[in-house]
Amino acid sequence: MLISQTPLRISLAGGGTDLRAYYKDSDGFVVSTAIDKYMYVLIKERFDSKIYLNYAARKEIVDDISEIQHELVREAGLMAGLRNGFELATFADIPSEGSGLGSSSSLTVGLLNAMYTFCGRQVTHDQLAEEACMIEIEILKKPIGKQDQYIAAHGGLSAITFHGSERVTTERLELTERERHDLGGRFMLFFTNVTRQAASILQEQQEKTASNRNQLQEIHALGKQVETAIRSRHFDDIGEVLDENWKLKKRLASGITNAQIDEMYERSRAAGAVGGKVAGAGGGGFLLLYVKPEHQAKVRESLSEYRQMPIMLDNFGATIIFNQRRYRW
């Protein structure tokens, strides 16, 4: 039996430039960080050759990996060369769909990590990210970008560049433990009480890339500003950039925001939040805010009807946290 643990993420700036429609013509750039909320995959050997699969929506019992209805499990199993004779279950720290925290990509990376390890193979973080992108974007045709897979695999606080050649470069923005705790303590996440499928928003955003290129170039520049703020330890500059990023992001596609989200954001700003944005594609999920410590109680009070999820920055990526081997039957 083994268990994989894969972090979720918050994207600070640059989101949208990780879509192929943008980076095929000019490099995309995102600053993103793993957080201490996770997707877990448990896999164990069975005595028979059946597959037992347990996840939030249902339970499946099949004879071969190709028969599985859960598309991420099916494609990850086919990618890893795992056919049958195992039991698998998935668990999440948050609502598994529509959170805006990259849960589907974290799950895909975690499935690959668990399955390869179960088969006795150790693969790199880059391979996990590349193959997760292949599954989600190439095979399943999801209209998503590449940042979630790479930050889930590598973890940490990272600057990620997406090249037109499809090469992806990930660079850690190193902080001391105290600095990471200081920065992480300035982020607040509030659940909007709405989950949504990001596909329609991202599909529209892809289709509007040409007309939105000026805004996306500005968003790319804001990602560079966040990188500079982190390297110089001017953390409060990040809050200002988040506000600018949110103003630009709302113009990329319809459905990114709504009256409720706008009201949440304005109330938080009036209470002292420096800036923020909806995590992920938009339309629901979690509202991410940058708030100095002295204003957090007031912001929390202003959004008292919304559940806060405390987070800290996570320094690790895809990990096997339990692995008990035995002789094969």
Strands 275-278 and 28-45: unpaired
For the segment 4-12, the average pLDDT, to the nearest whole number, is 97
Which structure tokens are listed for 23?
Answer: 């980076």
Give dist(CA 186, CA 209) in Å, integer. Answer: 32
Which structure tokens are listed for 35?
Answer: 């957080």
pLDDT computed for residue 328 by the predictor = 60
Query: Does the pLDDT value for residue 236 go beyond 80?
Result: yes
Which structure tokens are listed for 292?
Answer: 């100095």
pLDDT computed for residue 281 by the predictor = 80
For the segment 224-239, the average pLDDT, to the nearest whole number, is 98
pLDDT digits (tens, 9 = 90+) for 10-59: 999 999 999 999 999 999 999 999 999 999 999 999 999 999 999 987 99
Amino acid at 268: S
Burial code (b: 16+ CB inside 10 Å, e: under 16) for 214-248 equals ebbeebbebbebbbebbeeeebebbbbbbbbbbeb
Q: Where in the chain is the domain with CATH 3.30.230.10?
A: 2-176+315-323
Q: Where in the chain is the domain with CATH 3.30.70.890?
A: 177-302
pLDDT computed for residue 283 by the predictor = 82
Query: Does the pLDDT value for residue 211 go beyond 70?
Result: yes
pLDDT computed for residue 96 by the predictor = 60
Predicted confidence band of residue 194 (pLDDT cuts 50, 70, 90)? confident
pLDDT computed for residue 98 by the predictor = 72
Would you give the end-to-end CA distance of the chain in angstroms?
A: 13
Query: Does the pLDDT value for residue 242 go beyond 70?
Result: yes
pLDDT computed for residue 289 by the predictor = 98
Angle among Cα 270, 273, 275 to the nearest 5 degrees reads 110
- Are 51 and 88 in contact by the 8 Å Cβ rule? The answer is yes
Mean pLDDT, rounded, of the chain: 94
Predicted confidence band of residue 254 (pLDDT cuts 50, 70, 90)? confident
Burial code (b: 16+ CB inside 10 Å, e: under 16) for 275-309 equals bbbbbbbbbbbbbbbbbeeebbeebbebbeebebe
More confident residue, 283 or 275: 275
pLDDT computed for residue 327 by the predictor = 63
pLDDT computed for residue 317 by the predictor = 97
Predicted confidence band of residue 329 (pLDDT cuts 50, 70, 90)? low
Q: Compute CA distances 286 → 16, 117, 263, 281, whole Å.
A: 18, 32, 14, 11
Which structure tokens are listed for 206?
Answer: 């892809």
* Range scoring the smallest mean pLDDT among 60-74, 248-262, 297-311: 248-262
Q: CA gyration radius for the chain?
A: 20
- Strand spans (E) along 163-264: 168-172, 187-191
CATH class given for the domain over 177-302: alpha beta
CATH class given for the domain over 2-176+315-323: alpha beta
pLDDT computed for residue 30 by the predictor = 98
Task: Give 66's DSSP letter.
Answer: G
pLDDT computed for residue 66 by the predictor = 97
**Around Cβ 117, how many Cβ atoms within 10 Å?**
18
pLDDT computed for residue 294 by the predictor = 98
Predicted confidence band of residue 199 (pLDDT cuts 50, 70, 90)? confident
pLDDT digits (tens, 9 = 90+) for 139-178: 999 999 999 999 999 999 999 999 999 999 999 999 999 9
Q: Compute CA distances 56 → 23, 69, 70, 117, 185, whole Å.
A: 35, 13, 11, 23, 31
Contacts 24+ apart (CB under 8 A), 224-231: 224/29, 225/13, 226/12, 226/13, 226/14, 226/31, 227/31, 227/159, 227/173, 230/31, 230/157, 230/173, 230/175, 230/183, 231/173
**Around Cβ 42, how many Cβ atoms within 10 Å?**
16
More confident residue, 326 or 265: 265
